[in-house]
Amino acid sequence: MNYIEDINLNQIPVNYHHRKSSVETTWRIFHTHQGIEFLYIHKGSGYAIFDHTVHEVKAGTLLFFQPLQLHGLKIHEKDDEPYIRTILTLDPVIIEPYLTVFPGLREFFQTLCKNRIEKQFFSEFTTRPMFEYFLEYFCLRQKSIKNNSEEMIFLAISFLNYVRGIWQQKVNTSTKIPGRTTDYAAKIMQWINEHYMEEFSLKRLAEDLHLSEYHTSHLFRKATGTSITDYLTARRMRQASFLLQSDTLPLNIICQQVGITSTSYFCQVFKRTMGISPGTFRASINKSKQFIDLND
């Protein structure tokens, strides 16, 4: 299972898919991205999982996920209703320098990318019709400019400004909608977040939750649609992705810090789950940094 989207943000730092439709019955639950992702649901309902919490989502919901933030989305299966969404992914390393002349917008973008955010999704916002119109306009412009990087970046800046307006409206006027943080799935995700750097023991996890091993696995799969092992692997690979952004940290040290003792096994797992080797991933990060250095 591949946990990172195959999005090449080094060549085009703005990746946009308008009204992408799926009728699949099998979904890749937990995954991550190098860039910041904005997701707007046109049709479909289900739940999003991030920050150890399960959130109900529906048509008209706008979500965003921070760079390398582990998250999942499970859409209810309906034969007569496809899942339709618009997705925008941005490379913060390349986008942020363009925001220098817009200090307020740059601060907002930095907040979305780097700060701990309590509110990562919005629904029923009053400007929804205009927002959907803007998404249509973005699509038309994308086709006319044929993915020209500079033009796409200017479109992305306009999008961020629009999202800032929604953010200010919802954060300042709406009450916080709590997720289902008290269920066992959330407790299991929290436990893994605290112990992923250690050798995993289902028995120890079950004992800490005062459950049998069977019920621990069963409850997690029922709540999330995936296994504890898959979530553990995704969590470890997410941390490895962070650590690989350092040019000097050796692979054997990264392995130890994510709970894997064998470097060769780590490379196999990383390639299988992330879609690329650790070396290729590190090289892609360095390429983004070199792009910034050349344009400073």
Spatial distance between the Cα atoms of 96 and 98, rounded to a whole number of angstroms: 5
Same domain, yes or no: 265 and 202:
yes
Specify whether the CB–CB gap between 36 and 112 falls below 8 A.
yes
Residue 140 lies in a domain: yes
Same domain, yes or no: 151 and 237:
no
Residue 294 lies in a domain: no
Q: Is the pTM of this model over 0.85?
A: no
- Alpha-helical (H) ranges within the chain are 92-95, 103-114, 128-145, 149-173, 184-195, 202-209, 213-224, 228-243, 251-257, 263-274, 278-295
Same domain, yes or no: 29 and 142:
yes
Spatial distance between the Cα atoms of 267 and 251, rounded to a whole number of angstroms: 9
Same domain, yes or no: 59 and 109:
yes
Domain count across the chain: 2
Q: Tell me, what CATH number does 244's domain have?
A: 1.10.10.60
pLDDT higher at 241 or 87: 87
Lookup: tokens for 46: 């289900």
Residue 3 lies in a domain: no
Q: Beta-carbon neighbour count of residue 192 at 10 Å?
A: 19
Contacts of 133 (CB under 8 A, 6+ apart): none
Q: Tell me, what CATH number does 66's domain have?
A: 2.60.120.280
Nearest to 99 by CA among 177, 13, 38: 13
**In the prediction, which pLDDT does 33 show?**
75
Strand partners, 87: 17, 39
Same domain, yes or no: 169 and 188:
no
Residue 256 binned pLDDT confidence (cut-offs 50, 70, 90): very high
Same domain, yes or no: 61 and 112:
yes
Q: What is the pLDDT of residues 207-244, one digit of tens each?
A: 999 999 999 998 888 777 778 998 899 889 888 988 98
Residue-by-residue DSSP string for 220-232: HHHHHSS-HHHHH
Domain span at residue 74?
A: 14-173
Nearest to 33 by CA among 241, 191, 199: 241
Same domain, yes or no: 232 and 112:
no
Which of residues 138, 153, 173 is at a domain's end?
A: 173
Q: What is the pLDDT of residues 120-161, one digit of tens each?
A: 888 877 778 899 999 999 999 988 887 677 888 999 999 999
Same domain, yes or no: 51 and 127:
yes
Query: Quick check: helix, strand or coil at residue 88?
Result: strand
Residue 295 lies in a domain: no
Residue 68 lies in a domain: yes
Q: Which residue has the tokens 């200017």?
A: 154
Residue 9 lies in a domain: no
Instruction: Report the Cα–Cα distance between both ends of the chain, in Å, rounded.
Output: 38
Helix pair 184-195, 202-209: axis angle to 10 deg: 130
Same domain, yes or no: 188 and 159:
no
